[in-house]
Structure 1
Amino acid sequence: MTTPVSVQYDNFDPVWYLQTYADVRNAGLDPWDHYRRAGRAEGRQGGPVQALELDLMLWRGYHDTALPALHILFETGPAHERAVAGWVLARWYVEHEDLSAARAALEAFHASDEGARTVGHPGPYLLGVQLALALDDRDQAAQLLDRGFTRFGALPDFELAQIQYDRFLGLDDWELSSALARIYVPYGLVPLHLRDDVFGPRFDRLHADPGPWLNGPTKDLPLVSVIVPVFNAARNLPTALRGLQAQTWPNIEIIIVDDGSSDESLSVAEAAAEKDKRIRVIAHTVNQGAYPARNTGFAAARGDYITVHDADDWSHPEKIARQATALMNEPELKATVSHWVRASDDLAMTRWRMEEAWIYRNVSSLMIRAELRDILGYWDRVKVNADTEYYYRLTHSFGPKAIREVCPGVPLAFGRTDPGSLTMRSATHLRTQFKGLRRDYMEAAHYWHTQAREPSELYLPQNPEQRPFRVPEAIGLGDAEGPETDYDILRRSEYFDADWYRLSHKDVLLADICPVQHYLQGGAAENRDPGPRFSTGGYRRAQELPEEVNPLLHFETVGKQNGAAPLPAFDGVLSDTPAHVKRTLVFAHTSGKTLFGAERSLLGVVERMARRGHCPVVVLPTLRNPEYLKQLLTMTAAVEFVPQLWYHALRPAHEDTVQAIRDLIVKYGAKHIHVNTMVLNAPLFAARAEGVRTTVHVRELPDQDVALRRHLGASAGALRQHLVENADRFVATSPSVAQWLGCPDRTVIRPNSVDEDLFDLRYSPQTMLRVAMISSNIAKKGIADFLGVARRVESHGRPIRFLLIGPPSEDLHLMRPWPGNVDFRNYAATPAEAVAQADIVMSLSKFAESFGRTVMEAMAGGRPVVCYDRGAPPSLVESGRTGFVVPADDIEAAANAILALEASRNGLMRMSTAARAKARSLQEQAMQA
């Protein structure tokens, strides 16, 4: 396979635009016209921002694919993609300590307004200032700082950026203090400054003049317990305690838990307790870990509200008061959190990966009502992330509104950056929240949460006899593990491939859902496959499992021991065909819940093969419709299952898939492979390895299908090159497809065949004409335009009914209310049942169809067709003879065509005869050898 040197991404995708913007879809507007006239000015995107999707993939282990694609976008993509790719690449380069490359990438973002249209937060400006200063370019830093202030105003983050700039210039501390003060004054908070009466790092000189304690008697205020776990923090603990002792909330106890420190931490803590009776010290004789230390303090806490403060942090004097006051005033709240910023000793603002800002939610600041200790219990006994787990344990139990973020965007704490902390160590680095230990831990925790029917089921004792869920050994503390759950069984299964699952199911990838949890909670019920080596639907059918049984769990716990096949095969009626009759492997690329064009086209291909004396073996990627399998078995030697990822120009075919196909070639002695689509590449590579000839049935028009090109990661030219180099011959569904392929010596044109019973349908137009759209009822099929035609015809007062024949869909629901002359007729099991309901059929797709199967089915049934002049359908419809071809996206012209047909009943009958004759000619061409 040749990897393309460049990929062209178009800027506008009408199908995506309709799917994304419900108001445009509901109003029945032309997507391109809306985008050109209003959408772009409103900041709407003309298509999905590939750079942002690739950003998500980049940090989740798919950098081998995402990074080259980002570079292509950065070099050759449209302006907005280049800009956003610059932002994405800059963060990646910073992580890999290539600051010069990071700055060069980010300069592309700031070179125009295109990036700001898409990335509407301060992150790129803050990162730009940071990079410019790191590379000694104060002019660029000043420029970006000014642009950030101009666009976003005096946000606290930009005041922090000002501090970075002032530090670079070597300004005095009093000037830095001015910027610190400006952060808090607009929010009515006590301003900060740097003390000038003591020596030491700037972090340790953060200070605020004491503010007034809250009005009212101290005894009437709830007691707040602050747990301070300490391990070898003698240098930093005094600063943390100074911040806590200066809190404006007067009713406070500070519980220092020394976790077996080997330095002077315990002595520092005890000395502080002697001077301040609000401080208590508890000492562990041996080091147990940060969260066991928290739990010790949790058990000892006497407060009405309980929170935690790390020994190397410093808090604004009103932090406790702001969080406690919210709890006191809002009884429905269970907890509060505040925001913070991480900084070095010298107040260099840091964040391991720049997001929207330096300031963000501080999960460790969680302040809870003490009664939650009796409901949810203690922190999990692990080395990292237990504070995040507790946060989500709480929100799962009581809902996200149970926690209030106080003073969002304002740093009520400064966290000291320590390169040697668990947060920054490679095995437990924060990057592993995307892929690695932290991610694995949180996914297991979330599954535990979802199994609870009430909060008490998530209660975790201080020292449980066994863990509530299994965690990676590297972050556990040696506690006994609990019984293995369904989640654990699937995670360890060699047949569950989480990376493959995400790539195969893009909705899971983009929603950043745990693959195992998704499969357990719905994916298996939808017959989604967990990896390249197990067919959920095929196994379910082979074992006759009901919908509520999870096939892979059944296989791991029952089927494997009984010798069941993870990729089952089903014998068809031709299974006893003599061995000398050659077997042809036919590869399908989809198998949906309902039978639409792709499935019906495959049935036609296989039927023709069987009729000519061949012995087809169909290979399905999945099974979601048992009726489809049943029909295939009536015309094949066998049906096999091999789950497959679609081709992507920057991703090699999966090795397991290629090997499985090679095994099938050997099993059946196949000498020929027929791939019923251009979107699969593993069959081509397997055939090449086994010396087997290949035919690709090309049913797509890449040069007119921006969504397909984007999905396959290549330009139309690169896709053509891939096909020409890797397939031996082609079947094109239309002259348009053949022209795109451009190799007539290796290509035959074969229209899709249709069911013969369509030709026997009676055509007798009713007094009230019935105009139908027969489709999957999704936006890309042009249902908004169809409704627009109905509205225009309704305005003329003509007695015409418009029928939507197809399954219910979200797009249809969002387009309500429909015109009064529209009826929903639901999905029809066969084309004949669908076509029989119509007198006229419309084809108004918003993309270029490579053939137009519904158009030919309608014509075979003697129904005149009105279609857009887009893609292959105009080559089927002879305008004025078998129907009308109208300008693409011209709803008025389409409505006028319907009105003209309604006005000429004799013309309808003539068109019916001509349409059926044209369809018969196409059918004969389709059935040729």
Structure 2
Amino acid sequence: MPHSPQELSEPDNFDPIWYLQTYADVRAAGIDPWDHYTQVGRSEGRHGGPVQARELDHILWRGYADTAAPELRRLLHKGPPREQAVAGWALARWEKEQGNLTAAFDAIQVFHAHPEGMQIIRHPGPYLLGVQLALACEDQPEAEKIRSAGIERFGPLPDFELAGMLCAGARGQDDWELSHYLIRLYVPHNVMPITLRPDWDGSRFDRLDGQPGPWLGAPADTLPRISVIIPVFNGARGLPTALRGLRAQTWPNLEIIVVDDGSTDDSLAIARQQADEDPRIRVIPHEQNQGAYPARNTGFAEARGDFIAVHDADDWSHPQKLELQARHLIDQPELKATVSHWVRVGNDLDMTRWRMEEAWIYRNVSSLMVRAELRETLGYWDRVRVNADTEYYYRILAAYGPDAIREVCAGLPLSFGRTETQSLTMQSATHLRTQFKGVRRDYMEAAHDWHARAHTAENMYMPCIPGQRPFRVPEAIGLGDPQGPTSAYDLLSASELFDPDWYRLSNPDVLLADLNPVRHYLNGGAGENRDPGPLFSSGGYRRAQGLDEDAIPLLHYEENGRAAAAKPLPVFLGALADISADLPRTLVFAHTSGKTLFGAERSLLGVVERMARRGQCPVVVLPTLRNMGYLDQLLEISAAVEVLPQIWWRVSCPPQPETVTAIRGLIRKYGSKEIHVNTMVLDAPLVAARAEGCESIVHVRELPAQDVALRRNLGADAETLRRILLEQADRFVATSQPVADWLGCPDRTVIRPNSVDEDLFSLPFQPEQCLNVALISSNIAKKGVADFLAVARLIAAEGRPIRFRLIGPNTQDLHLLRPWPDNVEFRDYAATPAEALAQADIVLSISKFAESFGRTVMEAMAAGRPVVCYDRGAPPFLVESGVSGFVVPKDDPQSVANAILALEAARGQLLHMSNAARQCARLLQEQAMQA
């Protein structure tokens, strides 16, 4: 017997649609998702649905805190255990970065209270963060407990030795005790230990020390020379420690180049003093401050070494750092560079990585050691204020491939980076958080684009001082060099009609994949007629300007259309445009306009056609335009079609102000007294109507109480969605009794089924000797394609000559479900319901979610086709079991197969069922067409 959601321990945690889409083997096997999850999947560690908290964590750092943070807090307190745990991890990092240590500690404790989270976050990060937050909140026992749990799970990683050092410091242990943790950090890895020197002045950071013995290798003059560049600007505080660490390096053939970048403190004097003491040190002063990367370039140009590395003036390096990195370059001639790992700390060696990831110890791009010949092939560091070391790192990979750089001693800190609040990494305009959204992200996007366009190393050469930059950079981080030529990317980035935030929110695939919106639009989004912002319609502009499919609509507008006064939101006049202007126009808002027409589009056609028949003048507002044939159909029955891009309702996020303003303008433009919204997933029209004193009617075509995916997309439980909807709208049209029951306001609700094409009632019903059973759908997992194939297999096992037809578009889900049984054939998308139903004798409705009406069911009944449907959602209210078809237990392919076999065996009843189906459909059609 199939399991119901209520039988699971966490019903809200399971999403059968997502489960089928995620696990191809379950789809291919045709297994009921509930059965697989409860009997096998859960014990295998499979997830029952997407982890919403992970998606929210992703967008939290990308400029959507106002949306993501409240939803994460809701999940933290009210979500199922795994959502609570992951929300705890996400909020702990966020609250810590905001300075809310108590809230961060509370959140990470929620993570550690739920083992389900550890199945999803499978790295030491939550344990290390837990230690740090517990100590910050003076809960030392909890810190020790979390550290021990981390070691038990992951083993004695170097990060846990650092955690032990923090705990020891919190207990008041002296530097001798702390040194034991530093020793244990390196000894298991056969790397020289380090300690804290008690006989030196300064902070713990400044007392880091390694004691290398005498060099026992080859003579220094037979070894490659390593040049280390230290750019310094007002770094007198840290420079002595940095130079002390470098002077203690084990590698004997060493050159240290200090480039003083116009310091006004004692940096230059310190450098010169140390140069007097050590002939390996050279000092190059800049008359004026130029920036860290120009200073590096000065040193790069002067370096005499075979290998060249950089060292920041406030860091300290392990004595073997340069040796370990150089060994790999010597042993592997194919390598172009090496990097090592580091840890960011404060003066007292407290951990200061700005955002906790998997560990405190991570790759140090600034430790890049390159072969000197790269200076001739790839050139110098980019002349910008931040991130040029990261750009150079990726330039090497782009030029020479992913194996060109080797990470040395991964997970072991070969340097300690000192965190200073005044550094560019910690200042707001150039903070490290801007790697997710801001100047760092914009810079790297432009750099990656240059790498991709350049293709070869020869084309990636960067001069020390370029006459013109190879690509444009944000002014906030540029150094005044002439910008590169304006590209299509630059033009669209500067357009006020391109709204990157809006593009991400309206295209979740772009947001979750962390793609650059402008590049996505240029590289494919425009071709799909995705809209770049709330005030430009790609499809509408393409149609109005007659552009071919390869054109980029917004690019055409910026290069040609703007000067010609073309409209970014064109209006298309319909057949009813000439009706008296005194007759008010009724705005009708659609919520989708797909490449092919399915229930949502056809339901809108029905609404508009009924309005036109009643003498109204409907003006359709499309949220996007991707199907020009659909536009043509709407123009035949409307006064006009406006295209106004819109984003679906999200409970925690108010509608876009530009969209609300535009809709208010449309209400005034057409003198509308009422608006119709063809879905409950749009809120901007309702907000605008309320502001204009215009009545709003929502045609509710959803069943949130039985639709996990919809609730997740809208960001609230069913009761919250219902309450808000009742507050926002004046009246409702429900497509079925279950929808009306969910709304629970009969005084404001009428039930009006979807209407269907009238010609279906005259479609001949002439079953062939071999019955044709059809699934007419969008052919995605949620429509029950896996169950359809399971039914076909069951019928094939009975040896019955029955054909099964998949009528709809070719989809990835269908591809992943192959191989199909021999009795299944793919019939492709049919342009009209009549074309689809002409290929069917029996129609199945076996969706894995609750259909709010079941348009295909009614269309099949109007065409006299008996329907076999699952007992889920609204279809059972349309089909009279045993009379016009069969209603069978949901998620039960065997029952579907039994019903089909019964229909085949009693072929004499097919005509009676056909007539009964048509009679029922006629009654529904009359109800649908009522005024």
Which TM-score band (shorter chain)? over 0.9
Using a 3 Å threshold, how does the CA distance of structure 1 residues 859 and 429 change in structure 2: closer, same or farther? same
What amino acid maps onto 1:617 in structure 2?
A: V
Shift of 1:391: 2.2
Alignment counterpart, residue 352 of structure 1, candidates 344, 351, 354 = 354
Counterpart position of 2:492:
490
CA contact 1:805–1:826 (8 Å) conserved in 2: yes
Q: How does 1:583-594 map to 2 (within 5 A)?
A: 583-594=585-596
**1:557 matched to 2:559:** yes
Q: Quick one: distance in 2 between partners of 1:919 and 1:331?
A: 77
Deviates more, 1:600-609 or 1:818-827: 818-827
Higher RCO (C-alpha 8 Å, min separation 6): 1
Alignment counterpart, residue 821 of structure 1, candidates 805, 820, 823 = 823
**1:56 matched to 2:63:** no
Q: How does 1:34-45 map to 2 (within 5 A)?
A: 34-45=36-47
* Deviation by residue 1:595-645 (Cα, 9 ceiling, x = unmatched): 111111111111122122221111101001111111111111111011111
Shift of 1:511: 1.4
Q: Quick one: distance in 2 between partners of 1:107 and 1:647?
A: 32
Shift of 1:514: 1.5
Shift of 1:206: 2.3
**1:445 matched to 2:447:** yes
Q: Quick one: distance in 2 between partners of 1:214 and 1:83?
A: 52
SS at match of 2:647: coil
What amino acid maps onto 2:656 in structure 1?
A: H
Shift of 1:522: 1.4
Q: Quick one: distance in 1 between partners of 2:678 and 2:293?
A: 57
* Deviation by residue 1:32-90 (Cα, 9 ceiling, x = unmatched): 22222233333332222222222222222222222222222222222222222222222
SS at match of 2:285: strand
Counterpart position of 2:611:
609
What amino acid maps onto 1:138 in structure 2?
A: Q
Counterpart position of 2:5:
none
Q: Quick one: distance in 2 between partners of 1:41 and 1:181?
A: 42
Q: Quick one: distance in 1 between partners of 2:877 and 2:306?
A: 77
Shift of 1:398: 3.7
SS at match of 2:338: strand
Structure 1 unmatched ranges of 5 or more = 1-7
Counterpart position of 1:3:
none
Q: How does 1:892-907 map to 2 (within 5 A)?
A: 892-907=894-909
**1:463 matched to 2:465:** yes
Q: How does 1:116-515 map to 2 (within 5 A)?
A: 116-210=118-212, 221-515=223-517
**1:691 matched to 2:677:** no
Counterpart position of 1:750:
752
Deviates more, 1:878-887 or 1:533-542: 878-887
Counting matched residue pairs gives 922
Deviates more, 1:370-379 or 1:135-144: 370-379
Q: Quick one: distance in 1 between partners of 2:216 and 2:463?
A: 35
Shift of 1:804: 1.6
Q: Quick one: distance in 1 between partners of 2:348 and 2:691?
A: 61
**1:77 matched to 2:90:** no
Deviates more, 1:550-559 or 1:180-189: 180-189
Q: Quick one: distance in 1 between partners of 2:760 and 2:321?
A: 75
Counterpart position of 1:881:
883
Using a 3 Å threshold, how does the CA distance of structure 1 residues 209 and 34 change in structure 2: closer, same or farther? farther
RMSD between aligned residues: 2.1
Using a 3 Å threshold, how does the CA distance of structure 1 residues 581 and 313 change in structure 2: closer, same or farther? same
Deviates more, 1:351-360 or 1:59-68: 59-68
Instruction: Report the TM-score, using the length of structure 2 for normalisation.
Output: 0.95
* Deviation by residue 1:86-135 (Cα, 9 ceiling, x = unmatched): 22222222222222222122222222313223222222221221122122
Counterpart position of 2:96:
94
CA contact 1:341–1:359 (8 Å) conserved in 2: yes
Alignment counterpart, residue 774 of structure 1, candidates 773, 776, 781 = 776
Q: Quick one: distance in 1 between partners of 2:215 and 2:831?
A: 74
Deviates more, 1:473-482 or 1:582-591: 473-482
Q: Quick one: distance in 2 between partners of 1:827 and 1:604?
A: 21
Q: Quick one: distance in 1 between partners of 2:887 and 2:219?
A: 83
Counterpart position of 1:804:
806
Using a 3 Å threshold, how does the CA distance of structure 1 residues 835 and 323 change in structure 2: closer, same or farther? farther
Alignment counterpart, residue 572 of structure 1, candidates 563, 574, 593 = 574
Shift of 1:479: 1.8
SS at match of 1:427: helix
Q: Quick one: distance in 2 between partners of 1:581 and 1:909?
A: 48
SS at match of 2:852: coil
* Deviation by residue 1:532-571 (Cα, 9 ceiling, x = unmatched): 1111110111001112221111112211111111110001
CA contact 1:758–1:832 (8 Å) conserved in 2: yes
Shift of 1:216: 5.2
Q: How does 1:779-928 map to 2 (within 5 A)?
A: 779-928=781-930
Q: Quick one: distance in 2 between partners of 1:222 and 1:560?
A: 60
Q: Quick one: distance in 2 between partners of 1:328 and 1:9?
A: 59
Alignment counterpart, residue 731 of structure 2, candidates 707, 729, 738 = 729
What amino acid maps onto 2:371 in structure 1?
A: R
**Amino-acid identity (%):** 69
CA contact 1:214–1:249 (8 Å) conserved in 2: no
Deviates more, 1:690-699 or 1:371-380: 371-380
Deviates more, 1:410-419 or 1:34-43: 34-43
Alignment counterpart, residue 524 of structure 2, candidates 503, 522, 525 = 522
Shift of 1:284: 1.5
Shift of 1:850: 0.4
What amino acid maps onto 1:357 in structure 2?
A: A
What amino acid maps onto 1:81 in structure 2?
A: E
What amino acid maps onto 1:652 in structure 2?
A: P
Counterpart position of 1:669:
671
What amino acid maps onto 2:732 in structure 1?
A: F
Shift of 1:160: 0.5
Using a 3 Å threshold, how does the CA distance of structure 1 residues 700 and 232 change in structure 2: closer, same or farther? same
What amino acid maps onto 1:777 in structure 2?
A: N
Q: Quick one: distance in 2 between partners of 1:302 and 1:788?
A: 71
Q: Quick one: distance in 1 between partners of 2:919 and 2:225?
A: 88
Instruction: Report the TM-score, using the length of structure 1 for normalisation.
Output: 0.95
What amino acid maps onto 1:498 in structure 2?
A: P
* Deviation by residue 1:809-849 (Cα, 9 ceiling, x = unmatched): 12122222222222222212221222222222212111111
Shift of 1:591: 0.5
Q: Quick one: distance in 2 between partners of 1:99 and 1:397?
A: 44
SS at match of 1:673: strand
Q: Quick one: distance in 1 between partners of 2:699 and 2:216?
A: 77
Q: Quick one: distance in 2 between partners of 1:616 and 1:458?
A: 57
* Deviation by residue 1:187-208 (Cα, 9 ceiling, x = unmatched): 2322222234534322233233
Shift of 1:214: 8.1
CA contact 1:190–1:211 (8 Å) conserved in 2: no
**1:632 matched to 2:628:** no
Q: Quick one: distance in 2 between partners of 1:212 and 1:47?
A: 60
CA contact 1:646–1:679 (8 Å) conserved in 2: yes
Counterpart position of 2:534:
532
What amino acid maps onto 2:391 in structure 1?
A: E
SS at match of 2:293: helix
Counterpart position of 1:764:
766
SS at match of 1:60: coil
Shift of 1:900: 2.4
Counterpart position of 1:700:
702
Q: Quick one: distance in 1 between partners of 2:465 and 2:415?
A: 30
SS at match of 1:578: coil
